[in-house]
Amino acid sequence: MKKLAWLLALMLLVVSLAPVGALAEEEITLTYAVWDFYDVYNYMADKYEATHPGIKVEILELGGTDVFMSNLGNLAAESKFPDVFQHLNLDACIQNGWFADITEYVEADEEYQKNLFPSLQRGGFIDGKRCFYVPNKIMPVVVYLDQNVFKKENVELPPADWTWDDMINLMETMTRPDMQLWAYNSFLGILSIGPVALAENAIAEFGWDGENYHFEDGWADCITQEAEYRRLNYRADSDPNYATIMGDVWAGNSGHVAMQHDAWWTMQWTYSASDSAERAVSMIPYAVPASTDVTVSNALSFIDMGAVSSSTKHPAEAFDLLKYMSYGKEGTLAKIEAYANLKNEDGSVIYRVPDWTPMTTDEEVWDAYWALYQTNDAEYWADKNVDWDTLEKQLQRSVPLGGVAIPGFNTFLAEVYSGSDYNGTVGIEAAVFGGVADPYDYTEMLNQKGREYYDNIMKVLYDVYGTAE
């Protein structure tokens, strides 16, 4: 018995001296729920397992944006909620208590504090004190300029560090009906990007600063400009003459538009594809331009958020996986490697260029990232004079859309911004474009109503998580 007791004591001593990670590597399986690019995340999971022996990562493929959040809810109902998950709706996560408080981890993480874009570091701190999520994948909103259209009009392309006023000037001068050329077309145009770029240090849509909206800073001006540009037929898809001339060809890929406000993924799925070249489309990506009227002018981006589950049994390990899959250097390099190595059956790369950009300031990561463009898609870039260094710096001003970052945003947008009556027209945008509402009359009301919807969800947050000490 004494011998057995001695052996047990020795085993306990060994266990107590072993690093926590080594213990975890012997027994942990972490589940990670995502909604797209499963092949990439499975590649990254394999790389993670190789450097974290004993930790297994199971990628849960929960479907696209239309079903992802409901499928998360189904897993919660079955007590099978993932350890780490992407989220597409902030309010749903708060109301269901799905978030773990990860403040201690982000505050102790050097990469988060030093290398994550400064514009993103405050986002997950919902109440200003506690962090509940981190940016998981960033797909910047950018402005594509067709260098061939600029050549036709004998106009010089702007520098990569162009300003908001530079862009507005081009939107007002590049339409040439005699040449069947339009100044711009938009997916997310100035009405979306302007209230961020023109507000001081906004961290989300409509100038959101963490506590309040600022519709007075840019939104009213931008919707007024947009209404006027549509009236003057500067915007291709709102000009009835466009369809007559071009038929059903998408304006942004027609070769007849100087500027397309769009997302980074359009380079992957459209502009590096062959039909663009056949139409002599030669788009160069520019970051959303900064305003010179504010000290810190940020830029809107599509950003998927990632979180650790409040139900996980391994929060420290789950956070390490989350970091790897999002902003961490090691994981981002693995992701870049995936884009270089994932191939079709014929040996061609599956993804010519990424639909995302890094969210770290680490230069080694960016060098490896830009190298992909020459490795996978060198032919497209051969005739394009891109200032990669300046573009890289400009892209580091990214902030997210409201639905993933502002408590109450989705309901405010649906019920007030887009759902309320404005002088007989439903939705403020439709009312302004229809000429029945002056946007400057509504900035204070929108600020106030937006804050009310925020307060309603914050009450839920405090009910679920308590107040921060």
269, pLDDT greater than 90: no
Task: Fill in the amino acid letter for 38.
Answer: Y
- The total number of structural domains in the chain stands at 1
Instruction: Tell me the mean pLDDT in the region 320-336.
Output: 97
Residue span of the structural domain in which 224 resides: 140-300+411-459
* Domain annotation covers residue 241: yes
Instruction: Tell me the mean pLDDT in the region 131-159.
Output: 97
Rounded to whole angstroms, the Cα distance separating 205 from 202 reads 8
120, pLDDT greater than 50: yes
Q: How confident is the model at residue 4 (pLDDT cuts 50, 70, 90)?
A: very low
At 331 the pLDDT is: 97
* Domain annotation covers residue 469: no
At 17 the pLDDT is: 32
At 62 the pLDDT is: 92
- Regarding predicted confidence, which is higher, 326 or 1? 326
At 348 the pLDDT is: 87
Instruction: Tell me the mean pLDDT in the region 427-454.
Output: 97
* Domain annotation covers residue 329: no
* Domain annotation covers residue 262: yes
**HEC readout, the chain:** CHHHHHHHHHHHHHHHHCCHHHHHHCCCEEEEEECCCHHHHHHHHHHHHHHCCCCEEEEEECCCCCCHHHHHHHHHHCCCCCCEEEECCHHHHHHHCCECCCHHHHHHCHHHHHCECHHHCCCCECCCCCECCEEEEEEEEEEEEEHHHHHHCCCCCCCCCCEHHHHHHHHHHCCEHHHCEEEEEECCCHHHHHHHHCCCCCCEHHHECCCCCCCCCCHHHHHHHHHHHHHCCCEHHHCHHHHHHHCCCCHHHCCCEEEEEEECHHHHHHHCCHHHHHCCCCEEEEECCECCCCCCCCEEEEEEEEEEECCCCCHHHHHHHHHHHCCCHHHHHHHHHHHHHCECCCCCECCCCCCCECCECCHHHHHHHHHHHHHHHHHHHCCCCCCHHHHHHHHHHEEECHHHCCCCHHHHHHHHHCCCEECCEECHHHHHHCCCCCHHHCHHHHHHHHHHHHHHHHHHHHHHHCCCC
* Domain annotation covers residue 373: no
Instruction: Tell me the mean pLDDT in the region 398-417.
Output: 96
The share of the chain scoring above pLDDT 90, in percent, equals 85
3, pLDDT greater than 90: no
198, pLDDT greater than 90: yes
The CATH number given to whatever domain includes residue 293 is 3.40.190.10
At 433 the pLDDT is: 96
Tens of pLDDT, residues 373-385? 998 888 888 888 8
25, pLDDT greater than 90: no
* Domain annotation covers residue 417: yes
Instruction: Tell me the mean pLDDT in the region 185-209.
Output: 95
Instruction: Tell me the mean pLDDT in the region 212-223.
Output: 96
Token pair recorded at residue 6: 């001695």
Tens of pLDDT, residues 40-83? 999 999 999 999 999 999 999 998 888 999 999 999 999 999 99
* Domain annotation covers residue 196: yes
* Domain annotation covers residue 130: no
Q: How confident is the model at residue 26 (pLDDT cuts 50, 70, 90)?
A: low
Instruction: Tell me the mean pLDDT in the region 28-51.
Output: 96
At 203 the pLDDT is: 94
pTM value surpassing 0.85: yes
At 143 the pLDDT is: 98
Q: Which residues make Cβ contacts (< 8 Å) with residue 64, sequence separation at least 6?
A: 35, 36
Average pLDDT, the chain: 92
